[in-house]
Amino acid sequence: MLVIIENNYDALSLRAAGIVASAVRKNPRIVLGLATGNTPLGLYRELVRLHCEKALDFSGATTFNLDEYLGLPANHRASFHTYVQDHLASRVNLLRENIHVPDGSVHEHYEEYCSAYEALIRKAGGIDLQILGIGKTGHIGFNEPTSSLGSRTRVKTLAPATIQDNQPNFGPNESVPPCAITMGIGTILEAHRILLLASGASKSSAVAQAIEGPITSTVTASALQLHPDVIVVLDEDAASQLRYRDYYERVLQNTMQLTPERVE
């Protein structure tokens, strides 16, 4: 795991965008795994800027979103379909047919639907670069505490903390849906490369447990310790509970010297 600590959210977003942009330039037919939430907003903003000002080309790229609320139509303003459309797809030259978000409007045959989503990922050649945020509970995607570390795309019941965190995206008289379709931990771990972003003190405990704690289903992000190519980009606040940060800095310096392609 390569841990990069930036001074603030803007620097974190620039660093993350540099990594994604370099991957897109190296492989124009890249398959990206997309996360939603507040954390990657700065990353998407910067990718849009690079598209507009530096001709970053998404025309050959394919995207798969991690998750979607079950029961929300794609056009609901809090759906992750809407999020991806608003923050990335409508602003860069991704082709509509290459954008995949789990369908929150399915209402039967859930297992078949989720298997079909996984089959689409496989047909695309697997995810080259998976972008992740982390919840305060340590979840990645909607893989809530106690999710199986071998889990695949499925319907998952949201934890109370997740419902509370996401309530601001819904109206005052609207409830957060109780369930979501989410890629599983097993699905995420099959991505060739993973980029985890975290910002703010409210994430510092989850981040420390994910990076330095034991691998446990009660902090599903800790399963990333099993993956050979994970880059974690944090701001100072999110990094504040890490015990080995001096070491991470030395690892970063040496990696940049010896294998700079790992940091791009």
- Residues at the site binding ligand PGA, with contacts judged by CB under 6 A: 37-39, 133-135
Write down the least CB distance from residue 31 to ligand PGA, Å. 20
Write down the least CB distance from residue 102 to ligand PGA, Å. 15
Residue closer to ligand PGA, measured from CB, 19 or 66: 66
Residue closer to ligand PGA, measured from CB, 105 or 169: 169
Residue number of the CB closest to ligand PGA reads 37
Expressed in angstroms, the distance from the first to the final Cα of the chain is: 14
Write down the least CB distance from residue 54 to ligand PGA, Å. 26
Write down the least CB distance from residue 184 to ligand PGA, Å. 15
Rounded Cα distance between 99 and 183, Å, is 15
Write down the least CB distance from residue 243 to ligand PGA, Å. 23
Q: Quick one: which H or E segment has residue 157?
A: strand 154-157
Residue closer to ligand PGA, measured from CB, 5 or 12: 12
Buried b (16+ CB within 10 A) or exposed e, 209-229: bbbebeeebebbbbbbeebee
In the three-class reduction of DSSP (H, G, I as helix; E, B as strand; rest coil), residue 207 is classed as helix
Write down the least CB distance from residue 224 to ligand PGA, Å. 13
Other CB atoms closer than 10 Å to residue 100's CB: what's the count? 18
Residue 14 has phi, psi (to 5 degrees) of -65, -45
DSSP3 helix / strand / coil % (the chain, rounded to 5) = 40, 15, 40
Residue closer to ligand PGA, measured from CB, 39 or 209: 39
Residue closer to ligand PGA, measured from CB, 98 or 137: 137
In the three-class reduction of DSSP (H, G, I as helix; E, B as strand; rest coil), residue 131 is classed as strand
Residue closer to ligand PGA, measured from CB, 104 or 135: 135
| 179-182 and 67-69 strand pairing | antiparallel
